[in-house]
Amino acid sequence: MIARVLIDNGSSLNVLPKATLDMLCSINPQLKTSSMVVRAFDVSKREVMGQVTRPICIGPTVFDVTFQVMDIYLAYSSLLGRPWIHVAGAVPSSIHQRVKFIMEHQLISVMEEKRTSATSSGLENPTPTAAKDMAFRIMIKEGYQPGKGLGPHLKGIPAPITIQENVGKAGLGYQRGNKIRNLSPS
């Protein structure tokens, strides 16, 4: 697990300090050669040791991120720059300390100080169908009968509540064509 990842929309690359890479990989990772030279804010030049691609889990999504490995000290464990932001289609907000992106038609919002995990092997996450299967088995074990309602004596509602989608910009009780009423007392 890595904590303290900086998402920086001002950085043109993803940076992984050598110390963080050593912490993640017990075996010496294969660094691909990189002829990149990084120019810091103080206009000094720093050489990149190489580049490495690692799977990074951000929220429920795994990204293969290519990092430039540098032997530098950062206040953060890693820096995700514009290359990751563009691949993820992410919208970072430094004011709200969160990043949002859409994955599989779902809005993902990752808040500040949430742990981000990185592993050298593939992650094994249960598929949603397996999780639903397990939940259904537990419900049956506890006495649920399909077609009956939930709750005491199976008398609750038999189907989940459906929420109507508000496709317009109307608020509560508004219908197009209604005239504005004067609500002030006469």
- Closest to 8 in 3D by CA, of 70, 94, 102, 96: 94
Q: Specify the pLDDT at position 121.
A: 45
Q: Specify the pLDDT at position 123.
A: 43
Q: Specify the pLDDT at position 126.
A: 47
The dihedral built from the CA positions of residue 4, 98, 164 and 153, taken in this order, carries a sign that is: positive
Q: Per residue of the chain (186 residues), give pLDDT as tens.
A: 677 788 888 888 899 888 888 887 756 667 888 888 888 777 888 888 889 888 888 888 888 889 998 888 888 888 889 998 888 888 888 777 788 888 888 888 888 664 555 444 444 454 556 777 777 778 778 777 777 777 777 777 777 777 777 666 556 666 666 555 555 565
Q: Specify the pLDDT at position 181.
A: 56
Phi, psi of 184 (to 5 degrees): -80, 145
Question: Which residues have C-beta within 8 Å of that of residue 83, sequence separation ≥ 6?
Answer: 12, 13, 14, 65, 66
Identify the H or E element spanning 131. Answer: helix 128-141
